[in-house]
Amino acid sequence: MQSGLNILSAKGPTSAHMPSTNETLSLGDLKGWPESGVNLAVIGHPIKHSLSPLMHNAALGTMSRSHPELQTWKYWKFDVPPEELPIALKEMQNRRFLGVNLTVPHKVLAMRLLTHIDPAAEAIGAVNTLRLGKDGYEGFNTDGYGLVSGLHEDLGLSCHGADVVLLGAGGAARGAAIELVRQGCKKLWIGNRSPRNLDEMILAVERVAGSIPVQRFLFSELPSDLPSNAIVINSTAAGLDQESPAPIQLRSFPRPLGVYDMIYKPSRTKLLLDAEALGIPSANGLSMLVHQGARALGIWTGTQVPVVVMRDAARAGLRTSPA
Ligand code: NDP
């Protein structure tokens, strides 16, 4: 494995030649990074198609009209493989990157590299937002907030007092489940393709669920007592590939109140097409992406964030991004 110093000696911008915020950067680009301005970034692997720089830079542009101090803020994207995450965060800390978003595969890996973790993120076991503190980064998780905001915005649904069926037991599902019980859902069913992640996740969720019942199921063995009028949320990766089947067959499911798919590209997954065909209100995960981002920007700037500007930027980015 390359040492951090070797990675950083590869190349780097000078203040005379800064890259564009649309470019995908790597650790080497941090060499000679100018001191001026306030920097934010998303780190992932892969990261090329991330809409986050578009959303955040559009919002910062609008916010800087009423907050001139934000004029020097910029949001970048860095492709960082998992083995380089510790050195990447160290170098970003040295270069005073104020905020960092984390996406696949870093959300769990980063937990041990932080000086403080927000209790909700601790319960989830994953972080997607870091803020630079005095001695290092503090971790938060805004995915669950993004989900409940998206459900409300797109489908007019509140999880409080509702039966919720959550599909999936990966990182996104964990964030969702913790927020759903924090919101006071009536009962939470969690289903998955395979048992290992599911059983681990059920244990973690039960620790914070209090009196809210949490029931597990496998997609191959749907329980007979699944509720009708539930909110169904897909947090599996089934649907990312347009050829693969939906994680569950909605036709053999008690009729839900609404179906939300965290996937936003493709914009209409098989699950959402099935919901449409059955006349069930449905929405994709673009609103979740926008709201988790807006919450992160609020944590960094401490001020109100123009969600509409972020949404327009994300939609425009999706229209022009390759299939
Ligand atoms: P993980 O890799 O952590 O989890 C993947 C989950 O999908 C697991 O439950 C896995 O099941 C399941 N899965 C994968 N392939 C299939 C399949 N073919 N059929 C059924 N189940 C399958 O990923 P994340 O939790 O981080 O992300 C999950 C999804 O959520 C992704 O599509 C991602 O794009 C989306 N997402 C959207 C966000 C937004 O802002 N809109 C934010 C975060 C994520 P098993 O345990 O059996 O392997």
Q: Please say if 107 is a catalytic residue.
A: yes
Ligand 1 pocket check for 262: Cβ under 6 Å: yes
Stated as kind and residue range, the H or E segment containing 66 is: helix 52-66
Q: What is the pLDDT of residue 243?
A: 83
Output the CA angle 242-246-256, nearest 5 degrees.
130
How high is the pLDDT of residue 235? 96
Spacing, Cα 249 to ligand 1 middle (Å): 17
Instruction: Give CA 188 to chain center in angstroms.
Output: 21
Query: Which ligand 1 atom is at minimum distance from the Cα of 237?
Result: 32
Atom of ligand 1 nearest to the CA of 172: 25
The amino acid present at 247, given as its one-letter code, is: P
* Residue of 174, 236, 240 to test ligand 1 pocket, by largest number of atoms within 8 Å of CB: 236
Task: Tell me which residue has its CA closest to atom 7 in ligand 1.
Answer: 236
pLDDT at position 2: 40
Cα–Cα dist 260/268, whole Å: 11
Write out the chain's pLDDT in tens, 323 residues: 343 434 454 456 655 567 889 899 999 999 888 868 999 999 999 999 999 999 999 999 999 999 999 999 999 999 999 999 999 999 999 999 999 999 999 999 999 999 999 999 999 999 999 999 999 999 999 999 999 999 999 999 999 999 999 999 988 999 999 999 999 999 999 999 999 999 999 999 999 999 999 999 999 999 999 999 999 999 999 988 888 899 999 999 999 999 999 999 999 999 999 999 999 999 999 999 999 999 999 999 999 999 999 999 999 999 988 76
Ligand 1 atom closest to the CA of 247, numbered from 1: 20
> How many angstroms is it from 262 CA to the middle of ligand 1?
9
pLDDT of residue 22: 87
Q: Residue 265: CB within 6 Å of ligand 1?
A: no
135 close to 109: Cβ distance less than 8 angstroms: no
Number of H helices, E strands in the chain: 10, 13
Taking alpha carbons only, the member of 195, 172, 280, 259 closest to residue 248 is: 259
Query: What pLDDT shows up at residue 34?
Result: 80
The protein residue with its alpha carbon nearest to ligand 1, atom 43, reads 172
Atom of ligand 1 nearest to the CA of 219: 20
Ligand 1 centroid–CA 320 distance in Å is 24
Does the C-beta of 143 come closer than 6 Å to ligand 1?
yes
Q: Quote the pLDDT of residue 138.
A: 98
What are 43's strand-pairing partners? 78, 102
pLDDT reported for residue 19? 82
193 lines ligand 1 (CB under 6 A): yes
Separation of 2 CA from ligand 1 center, angstroms? 30
| 125 dihedral zone (left: phi>0; alpha: psi -120 to 50; beta) | left
Q: What Å distances lie between residue 229 and 6, 161, 211, 271, 311, CA to CA?
A: 57, 12, 21, 17, 29
Which residue among 31, 48, 74, 107 is the active-site one? 107
The count of other CB atoms within 10 Å of the CB of residue 102 is 25
> Measured in angstroms, how far is the CA atom of residue 171 from the centroid of ligand 1?
7
